[in-house]
Amino acid sequence: ITVTHKLAGRLIEAKGTAVSGQQLADEFGISRTAVWKHIKELEEQGYEIASVKKKGYSLVSQPDTLEPAGLQPLLKTRMIGRTMVYQQSCASTQIIAHQLAQEGTPAGTVALAEEQTAGRGRMARVWDSAYGKGIWMSIVLRPDVVPQKAPQFTLVAAVAMVRAIEEVTGVKPEIKWPNDILIRGKKCTGILTELQSDADGIQALIIGIGLNVNQELSDFDVQVQPIATSLKMESGKHVSRQEMVRAILFYLEQYTDLYIEEGFGILKVLWESYSSTIGSKVRARLPKETLEGIAEGITEDGVLQLRTADGKLHSIYSADIEMTS
Ligand code: BTX
């Protein structure tokens, strides 16, 4: 992160109040002319900065890109996002993150892109990832847990996502087991957790997050339009993607730390409190059969417990769920 962007971070923190050139010069240990040059550089990058005589510089607006230089000064995390890799366009941030993980990138590395040309969901499904409209990112974690625990990270990430969305937009999302986040029944987020493991256990866990932020309905592929929504469509306002990334990474770190330290207990309660699945009548499509019944809860391992009309309790590890009432 460059001095220019540290300076941007300082103005962002000042929340629109002016900071004098002299103060910036002192804080950064540079001359006032150097401060001025950094300000010009930021303006060229799309930052709008007012310079008020005798008062100093104040930030009017900043470009809402996912470039690390703009994002990193906002982060309130210890580990996640300290290393960021950004591309304007890529096939899939999962591919980038897998590659980085194999090359030994540190835990907490985040790969982001403005656009994915081959964004993927579960089971080789396509994830619609329009340019500049959403958050398409993959986070590399290296938790010291057995591979069987990997699915829980999807649930932990889902809790982080709803908290972040609530905090930034005031909209209240719901979690649909196992990995969808819905607002008023439409999908705004998908989470895809993938693993690199060997005989020694998990080498890397790659959490892919797709969040629709500023799309209008027509920005989605026609097939996705009936089931998808964006934060802008639900809140009626343009939402800052930078603010969203900051909040997501903050909660993701908080909750993964909590999970590692205390186990799944508290997170399970949180997850269930946001879940639209639990307590509902659902239809679960499994590879070989379809089950209907009441979703009673999830186990410590994130396995869905479904009770069918005959009173039997079924453990569902993976399925597509449909609410039937
Ligand atoms: P999923 O398999 O649960 O959901 C995929 C399904 O969701 C698709 O078949 C389609 O019906 C619908 N869908 C596709 N795109 C969207 C969208 N933008 N909004 C709402 N619904 C949609 C969910 O898989 C996991 C998705 C993870 C995406 C992230 S983005 C960053 C990372 N890189 C990557 O390639 N994947 C992950």
- Interval 146-175 mean pLDDT: 94
For residues 189 and 292, give the distance between their C-alpha atoms in angstroms, rounded to a whole number: 25
- What's the DSSP call for residue 19? B
- What is the pTM assigned to this prediction? 0.86
| Residue 138 pLDDT exceeds 70 | yes
Q: What is the model's pLDDT at position 1?
A: 62
From the CB of 228, is ligand 1 less than 6 Å away? Answer: yes
Read off the pLDDT of residues 48-101 as tens digits, 9 standing for 90 and up: 999 988 899 999 988 888 989 889 989 999 999 999 999 999 999 999 999 999
Phi/psi at 172 (5° precision): -105, 105
| Residue 256 pLDDT exceeds 70 | yes
Domain ranges across the chain: 3-61, 68-274, 281-323
> How many Å lie between the centroid of ligand 1 and the Cα of residue 203?
24
Residue with tokens 């059969």: 289
> How many Å lie between the centroid of ligand 1 and the Cα of residue 87?
19
Is 148 annotated as a binding-site member?
Answer: no
Q: What is the model's pLDDT at position 254?
A: 98
Q: What is the model's pLDDT at position 176?
A: 92
> How many Å lie between the centroid of ligand 1 and the Cα of residue 121?
4
Is 122 annotated as a binding-site member?
Answer: yes
Is 187 annotated as a binding-site member?
Answer: yes
> How many Å lie between the centroid of ligand 1 and the Cα of residue 208?
10
- CB neighbours of 316 closer than 8 A, spacing ≥ 6? 284, 286, 291, 303, 304, 305, 306
Closest CA to 109 of 72, 73, 159: 72
Q: What is the CATH number of domain 3-61?
A: 1.10.10.10
Q: What is the model's pLDDT at position 284?
A: 94
- Quote the ipTM score: 0.99
What is 281-323's CATH topology?
Answer: SH3 type barrels. (2.30.30)
Instruction: Provide the pLDDT confidence category of residue 25 given band limits of 50, 70 and 90.
Output: very high
Which residues pair with residue 208 across a beta bridge?
Answer: 138, 192
Read off the pLDDT of residues 259-280 as tens digits, 9 standing for 90 and up: 999 988 899 999 999 998 899 9
In this structure, are residues 179 and 122 in contact, taking their beta carbons and an 8 Å threshold? Answer: yes
| Residue 103 pLDDT exceeds 70 | yes
From the CB of 227, is ligand 1 less than 6 Å away? Answer: yes
DSSP helix/strand/coil, 321: strand
Q: What is the model's pLDDT at position 249?
A: 98
CA 213 → CA 102, 195, 271, 305, 319, distances in Å? 30, 27, 22, 32, 27
Which residues pair with residue 59 across a beta bridge?
Answer: 49
Residue 154 half-sphere exposure toward CB, CA atoms < 13 A: 27
For residues 56 and 31, give the distance between their C-alpha atoms in angstroms, rounded to a whole number: 14
CATH homologous superfamily of domain 68-274?
Bira Bifunctional Protein; Domain 2 (3.30.930.10)
| Residue 325 pLDDT exceeds 80 | no
- CB neighbours of 49 closer than 8 A, spacing ≥ 6? 11, 39, 42, 43, 57, 58, 59, 60
Rg value, the chain, Cα = 22
Read off the pLDDT of residues 197-245 as tens digits, 9 standing for 90 and up: 988 889 999 999 999 999 999 999 999 999 999 999 999 999 999 999 9
The pLDDT > 70 percentage for the chain reads 100
Q: What is the model's pLDDT at position 111?
A: 98
Instruction: Give the 3-state secondary structure of 173-209.
Output: CEEECCCEEEECCEEEEEEEEEEEEECCEEEEEEEEE
DSSP helix/strand/coil, 282: strand
From the CB of 224, is ligand 1 less than 6 Å away? Answer: yes
- Interval 4-30 mean pLDDT: 92
Query: CB atoms < 10 A from the CB of 235, how many?
Result: 15
Is 116 annotated as a binding-site member?
Answer: yes
